[in-house]
Amino acid sequence: MIYILGVDAGGTKTTARIADSKGNKISESISGSGSFTSVGVKKAADNLNKAIFEAMELAGIDKEINFKSSCFGFAGFNVPDDTRHYRKIAHNDILKNHLDLQKSLIFNDTRIGLEAGSDAANKLIIIAGTGSNCFGINESGGQAGSTGWDYLLADEGSGYSVSVKALRAVMKAYDGRGEKTLLSVAILNELEFKKEVDLIGWAYGEVFSKERIGSIARLVCQAAYDGDKVSREILADEAGEAVLSVTTVASKLGLAGKEFDIVFVGGLFKCEKYFRDLVMGSLESRFNKINFKPLVANPVEGAVKLAIENL
């Protein structure tokens, strides 16, 4: 049998799937983060190996087996300089003995998410989770991306960006520099704090975690539904950023007037009225042949699909 390996190595978890040459799942296993920006190169490689070898064990595959083709999708793989880090992780000393290195692909995780979400010739993916990203491919094979440069350089349209604006709005209201907002009570209650200045220790006193900051975004959505003007403005601004990313990528790919799919994924899209609907409505007014497709498949399916195409 020909064995295929697909891996979705995210900032939170790594999913490894073993499939046959037709894409049928044989086994799958999950471990910790596969992003070196989150846990470092060694820990990311350890997590990757754990997921893959557990999947091999579940499948009853002999440890001497070689995968005829493999595809890895890594969160945070955004610039060419990252290649050496992710090659060290994917082709580490233990795992490389089981891979055909000439048939091993390494991509950003948005690439495998896009393949999992659409079979169209023209397609984009917009991510609005803890972080943000936008990537697309056209019928000529052209590729383009926008944002996704992480929390310091460019993470607009993300849960993290929403959360930072919310925390700043709370402090502005506390100082008297900004409008009063329901976020003040909501965030303090969520974190079990008594006063706004308690946020200082929470924000600066612990080891930085983008996920911890980004978790505030769901409170912003709830406050928006409860009638909070500040929350609605924050979400509208971030929806505008998501639209800007999509229109930028679509322009680079020459998709104006053409039919294309847009795969959308991420927690912010669960905020339907004050984020998702704003994004969709704005894009529909710009692209009359756009098809919206929520990502319902597991992104690792996209990795398997690309690995099979590369056989």
Q: What does the pLDDT look like over 106-143, one tens digit per residue?
A: 999 999 999 999 999 999 999 999 889 999 999 999 99
Q: Convert the pLDDT of each residue in 138-193 to its tens digit.
A: 999 999 999 988 889 999 999 999 999 999 999 999 999 999 999 999 999 999 99
- pLDDT at 78 > cutoff 80: no
Q: What CA–CA distance (Å, rounded) separates 27 from 60? A: 9
Residue predicted with more confidence, 38 or 306: 306
Report the CATH superfamily, name and number, of domain 120-295. Answer: ATPase, nucleotide binding domain (3.30.420.40)
Any residues with CB less than 8 A from the CB of 59 and at least 6 apart, and which? 18, 26, 27
DSSP string, 102-133: GGEEEEEHHHHHHHHH---SSEEEEEESSSEE
- pLDDT tens, position by position, 198-225: 999 999 987 888 889 999 999 999 999 9
Enumerate the CATH 3.30.420.40 domain ranges in the chain, comma separated: 4-99, 120-295
* The CATH number of domain 4-99, selected from 3.30.420.40, 3.90.1150.10, 1.10.3720.10, 3.40.50.10610: 3.30.420.40
